Structure 1
Amino acid sequence: MTALAAGVALLGSLFFALGAVLQQHEAARFQTPRMLVLLRRPAWLAGAAASAAGATLHIVALSLGPLSVVQPMGVASLLFALPIAAAMHGRSPGRGELAAACLVSIGLMGLVLLVPPSSQTPQLTNAGAVAMLTAIGLAALACFGLARFSAGAVRSALLAVAAGVLYGATATFTHVVVGGAGDNLWLLAALPLPAVPALMLIQRAYAAPAGPDAPGAKSGSGERGRGHFGVAFATLQVADPLTAVTCGAALLGEPLPDHTAIAVAFALVAGAGIAMLARTTPLTT
């Protein structure tokens, strides 16, 4: 059953990757993508369906095997996403991109494996929920504000951090609703508060142009890069679970990694991978 759980989780990661690539491919058509426009595009909807399938497979995998086996499989979505994205834009992924993706994956996998399992029932008070939404909202707003004065890979990364912290809050709410004692169902009504802005922000992160002078753009043509997909997706992959772990420790009493120095080292490895991705050739038309 453990091997089956790992296989299902790996398949879920493939669907997550495909969903992200399809959504980025459509969002990159607009410098400021609007959800009402994206919701009318079949390819973007197909990406949303693929992401939903990935989430469903992840839940199935968790029902079949332990968290320590299932969670690391989710890291593979970045390794799936970059080759798929490159193929959609008619090129092969560079060695630098794949090396950077491996660094991010190693760092994130190390962080995931260091988080000890918790056997207690998650409970979140009204005051805790409001405090979390306030803190997460302010953090996302700060990243969004900084992104407005940034460009290229930095803009993509800041928008992805904003989306990641909001998705981390969504994951915390979901964890309480699914694993709680049954008296936290009111949180279902609060789920859209972080989830909807997160969805909108990650589309902006996908669409953030690399600029007319980006590698791969034709000289003098004004052609814009199709965005730093690798940076946006990798940053989201790191910011989301880190936020969820932090919220779990601060509000739900769940344990933090035992070896803080090792956890910091893995976080630095993931950060170095994201920095490397920012220096690679962005997706171009």
Structure 2
Amino acid sequence: MNVLAVVLALLSALGNGAASVLQRRAAMDQNREDRGARGPKGDLLRLARLLRRPYWLAGLAAMVVSAVAQVGALAVGRLSAVQPLLVSELLFTLVVGSLVFRHRPDGRTWRSFVMLAAGLALFLAAADPSHGETTARNGTWLPAGVAVAIVVGSLIAVARVVRGAARAVVLGCATAACFACTAALIKEFTGRFSGGVAAVLTDWPLYAVCAVGLLSFLLLQSTLRAGTLAASQPALTLGDALVSIVLGWVLFAERIELGLRILPEVAGILLMAAGIVGLTRSPAMCGAWDAAAPEPPDTADRTAGTPRPPLSRGRRNPSGGRTP
């Protein structure tokens, strides 16, 4: 895999991580401040107000940067190699989230995320996906698309009956499948550039990218509102990577190495599993480090020379911070 594809994939991962954090912050601000009417009309009003929030708009800008970088990476790299590199989004999410939410994750959470990333990196290094074709083989898109649609529909149905972290994980898996399908469609779209602009604009991949990309965007918003990033983000990134490997094999004839390499591949999978177990037991999952946006300082506290009142000993809020 060439250096340009790696750089673009990492830039896309940074944009994705920043977008998730910023739009999660906007969603939390919205949940804390909005006490309006319920029902379809109230939902539309809340959505309209959400789309005007600075954090949400900043997240949208990061998402655009990520999409452009992803298109470039898929144009010069392999689907089964580019998408798994986006697992670094987990680390970028932690870094950006620590700044935005001002709640630094503990060491166990960091180690769990690093284990996930290292496990997937080990798996990809051992698997070494082959180049494959630039466009999908004839007759493979329809059954692959139907299979993805059934999986996503089933996950959405399950998400309607579960709550809390489980709902965020299920919706994250559905969103990941849509993201992987979108990436495969982008790969198909860029692979047809040689046919000329007119052919690209009149062929189906461009419009399929728009439709599936829009569905992915809407599912992502539901995922971010469903629960903490500690629950949804691993499902988003790992699900995207693994489904992309399958789609690369089915659609573009990209192959992974087996034989003796199956040992480090299994080791990578076990390392990822250990990271997932560690994450589910970490204080970040239980404490919801991103569940509440930091409150703005009081006007009196911003006044120069005005001392703050002393803190009462023993008064702490549920998240562990002192209550002024």
Coarse TM-score class (shorter-chain normalised): 0.7 to 0.9
Taking the aligned partners of 2:73 and 2:245, their CA distance within structure 1 comes to 20
Match of 1:266 among 268, 278, 291: 268
Mapping for residues 1-285 of structure 1, pairs under 5 Å: 9-28=9-28, 29-30=30-31, 36-60=48-72, 74-113=86-125, 114-125=127-138, 127-180=139-192, 182=195, 185-208=203-226, 227-258=227-258, 259-260=261-262, 262-279=264-281, 280=284, 281-282=287-288, 283-285=290-292
Taking the aligned partners of 2:22 and 2:273, their CA distance within structure 1 comes to 25
Counterpart residue type for residue 174 of structure 1:
I
Count of residues in correspondence between the two structures: 265
**Structure 2: gaps spanning 5 or more residues:** 33-37, 293-324
Coordinate RMSD, CA, aligned: 3.2
Q: Which moved more, 1:166-175 or 1:176-185?
A: 176-185
Counterpart residue type for residue 234 of structure 1:
P
Q: Which moved more, 1:250-259 or 1:187-196?
A: 250-259
Shift of 1:21: 0.8
Partner deviation per Cα, 1:19-76 (whole Å, 9 max, x = no partner)? 2211122234449986655433332122121122133335556778899997675332
Shift of 1:97: 1.1
Q: Which moved more, 1:243-252 or 1:178-187?
A: 178-187
Contact 2:168/2:231 (8 A) holds in 1:
yes
Shift of 1:174: 1.0
Taking the aligned partners of 2:238 and 2:246, their CA distance within structure 1 comes to 12
Instruction: Tell me which structure has the larger Cα radius of gyration.
Output: 2
Identity level (%): 28
Counterpart residue type for residue 236 of structure 1:
L
Taking the aligned partners of 2:273 and 2:220, their CA distance within structure 1 comes to 19
CA change 1:69–1:240 in 2 (3 A) is closer
Taking the aligned partners of 1:95 and 1:11, their CA distance within structure 2 comes to 25
Counterpart residue type for residue 269 of structure 1:
L
CA change 1:36–1:175 in 2 (3 A) is farther
Secondary structure at the aligned position of 1:191 is classed as helix
Partner deviation per Cα, 1:106-162 (whole Å, 9 max, x = no partner)? 12223333242314332344x532322221111112112222222222211111000
CA change 1:174–1:63 in 2 (3 A) is closer
